[in-house]
Amino acid sequence: MITIQDQRREERAAQFKQLTESSRCKPMGRLLRKFWQPVALGESVEVGGAIALLIMGEELTLYRGDSGALHLVGGRCAHRRTLLHTGWVVGEEIRCIYHGWQFDGKGACVKRPAEANNGMPRTQIPAYPVKEYMGLVFAYMGEGEAPEFDLPRKLLLERDGTLVANGRERWDNNWFQQVENSLDAVHVSFVHMALTVGPFGKAVTDAIPDLSYEETTAGIRQIAQRSATNVRVSDWTFPNNNHVTVPGLTPDDPWIDVFVWMIPNDEKNTTRFMIYGQQPGASEASRTRFKEYFAKYGKYDPAEHHDELFASRVWNNPEDAFVGLTAAQDYLSIRGQAQITSREDEILGRSDLGIVTLRKLFWRELELQEAGQATKSWQSLDGALHLPEQPGQEALA
Ligand code: FES
Ligand SMILES: [Fe+2]
């Protein structure tokens, strides 16, 4: 017999499912496509090279023409649907491996060598504008004109003398639970005390914070206060970027700004793109440490160690107690919620205020969108916004 409770659970499950679905025909997929989104590391495509991507359920080809410019087009040839990245880059165009159909960066078919009428420019494969920024490749995959490239810009890192490095992790679970973790300041007191306590856990401590959340022009500002002198502030940007600070590599180094985007590949896979920044003014020794560390450890991906981590909580990178440890700790807890967590079975408490705030924000925006009304026009926070470098310092606007 189906009870009222069963029915309510089903309704809740359907509502939560909306948060996880990113394909073009789903409300969340349409909402995510209103924004520039990171799709690749710039270094992963050389001049004349092409790679296959899966972003929000869409197969794509990212290639770099002879001029060095990047082009993002559909993943498959319009003729008989083979993968385009296995073909050749010819100038600024890409030629299919199978029968040589050739497409330009706008997705138009410009050559069909085995057909009498050769080109067929009205045959289009998808094509999207791209922009390289701080080592990442962003694409606009929505309808109409791309919005101004505003939200992805991190003015704090654009100042002369700033060092930046990139990271990329490919987690095998849904993007939304990763975004939720950004608004869950309490997890730091537990997750980052697991396996071993690294510099991040030590700096933040295991005290339970008082929480506050405020909607900003860009997203949500989160303040987690653990004591009068331990106040951690982070700025989350709608719909899928978080900005936090973490301790430097040694006590002599300045804190590091971390910007992380979580972009769905499909419902069960998410790529996390990171920009790490060291602000100008650090000592030469500190700058060298930053560069060497990220060259060696910046690309650690806990998802590649899923089995060891889950079988025995063996964190297999003990020399690296910073990015590797923090990522492994987060991966254990967030991947541990399953590939798509069953929110309908959760029991939330006061400490989940950030999660509730976040979901309400998304539902508000989704409702506006589905009712054909204007969604919020998010704007990046003014100026080069500093977060406190150490717990205890106030944010300097
Ligand atoms: S499948 Fe691409 S040219 Fe035939
Ligand atoms: Fe974390």
- Which stretches of the chain are assigned E, i.e. beta strand? 36-41, 50-55, 58-64, 70-74, 88-90, 93-95, 102-103, 108-111, 120-124, 127-128, 130-133, 136-140, 163-171, 210-215, 219-227, 230-237, 241-246, 256-266, 269-278
Residue 32 CB contacts under 8 Å (≥ 6 apart), including other chains: 22, 56, 239, 240, 264
Q: Is 38 helix (H, G, I), strand (E, B) or coil?
A: strand
Ligand 1 within 6 A of CB of 82:
yes
Same domain, residue pair 58 and 129: yes
Same domain, residue pair 162 and 130: no
**Could you tell me if 127 and 109 are in contact, meaning their C-beta atoms sit under 8 angstroms apart?**
no
Residue 30 Cα distances to 64, 141, 172, 351, angstroms: 27, 9, 22, 31
* 80 CB neighbour count, 10 Å cutoff: 10
CA torsion angle 297 299 302 304 (round to 10): -120
Closest CA to 106 of 78, 72, 80: 72
325 pLDDT above the threshold of 50: yes
384 pLDDT above the threshold of 80: no
Ligand 1 within 6 A of CB of 80:
yes
25 belongs to a structural domain: no
Residues spanned by the domain of 88: 40-140
Per-residue pLDDT, averaged over 268-288, amounts to 97
Distance 335 CA to ligand 2 centre (A): 12
Global confidence as pTM: 0.95
Q: In the listed set 108, 140, 172, which residue is the last one of a domain according to the structure?
A: 140
pLDDT of residue 199: 86
Structurally, the chain folds into a number of domains equal to 2
Q: In the listed set 72, 105, 140, which residue is the last one of a domain according to the structure?
A: 140
Same domain, residue pair 78 and 126: yes
pLDDT of residue 312: 87
CA 383 to chain centre: 22
CA 107 to chain centre: 26
Ligand 1 within 6 A of CB of 364:
no
Alpha-carbon distance 361 to 290, whole Å?
A: 36
Same domain, residue pair 131 and 208: no
Distance 3 CA to ligand 2 centre (A): 38
pLDDT of residue 119: 75
Q: What amino acid is encoded at 224 in this protein? A: A
pLDDT in tens, 183-226: 999 999 999 998 888 888 888 888 999 999 999 999 999 999 99
Atom number of ligand 1 nearest to Cα 100: 3
Per-residue pLDDT, averaged over 53-80, amounts to 98
390 belongs to a structural domain: no
Distance 96 CA to ligand 1 centre (A): 6
Percent share of the chain, pLDDT over 90: 85
Distance 369 CA to ligand 1 centre (A): 38
283 belongs to a structural domain: yes
360 pLDDT above the threshold of 50: yes
Task: Give the number of whichever ligand sits closest to the CA of residue 95.
Answer: 1
Q: Predicted confidence band at 397 (pLDDT cuts at 50, 70, 90)?
A: very low
Q: Which residues surround ligand 2, an ion (CB under 5 A)?
A: 330
The CATH number for 52's domain is 2.102.10.10
Same domain, residue pair 225 and 304: yes
Atom number of ligand 1 nearest to Cα 80: 1
Alpha-carbon distance 342 to 52, whole Å?
A: 31
pLDDT of residue 394: 42
> Which has the minimum average pLDDT: 30-39, 84-93, 224-233?
224-233
pLDDT of residue 127: 98
Q: What amino acid is encoded at 77 in this protein? A: C
303 pLDDT above the threshold of 60: yes
**Ligand 1 atom 3, closest CA:** 99
249 belongs to a structural domain: yes
The CATH number for 221's domain is 3.90.380.10
Compute the mean pLDDT over every residue in the chain, rounded to the nearest whole number: 94
Alpha-carbon distance 82 to 376, whole Å?
A: 40
367 pLDDT above the threshold of 90: yes
Same domain, residue pair 118 and 185: no
Of the residues 79, 83, 109, which should be mutated to test ligand 1's pocket, given the most ligand atoms within 8 Å of the CB?
79
Largest CA distance in the chain: 77
Q: Predicted confidence band at 395 (pLDDT cuts at 50, 70, 90)?
A: very low
pLDDT of residue 271: 98
* Cα distance between the two ends of the chain: 58
Same domain, residue pair 136 and 204: no
Q: Predicted confidence band at 390 (pLDDT cuts at 50, 70, 90)?
A: low
Same domain, residue pair 215 and 324: yes
Alpha-carbon distance 299 to 43, whole Å?
A: 12
117 pLDDT above the threshold of 80: no
Q: What amino acid is encoded at 156 in this protein? A: L
378 belongs to a structural domain: no
Same domain, residue pair 134 and 196: no
pLDDT of residue 396: 35
